[in-house]
Amino acid sequence: MVLFKKSVRHDLVKERLKLEIAEELGLAEKIKQGGWGELNAVETGKIGGILARRLKDIK
């Protein structure tokens, strides 16, 4: 049960960071209108790269 709670918390942190990064890149409105599926590969890659770097810095 403890692993589940930790996993959920980790997922919430990642989701918040993704949204924060999307806002910084000016993609928040696009995501709000059409969801994450509206992003192209380049936009998704930028978010993923920045997310990975920030998660690494957190640890």
Categorize the per-residue pLDDT at 1 as very low, low, confident or very high, splitting at 50, 70 and 90: very low
Q: Could you give the number of structural domains in the chain?
A: 1
- For residues 34 and 6, the model is more confident at 34
Categorize the per-residue pLDDT at 34 as very low, low, confident or very high, splitting at 50, 70 and 90: very high
Q: For the residues 20-49, what does the mean pLDDT come to? A: 96
Contact 25, 43 (CB under 8 A): yes
Contact 47, 18 (CB under 8 A): yes
Domain that holds residue 53: 2-58
Q: Can you give the pLDDT at residue 24? A: 97
4 has a pLDDT exceeding 90: no
Distance CA 59, CA 54 (A): 9
- CB within 8 Å of 36: residues ≥ 6 apart: 44
Distance CA 5, CA 26 (A): 32
For residue 53 the two structure tokens come to 């770097």
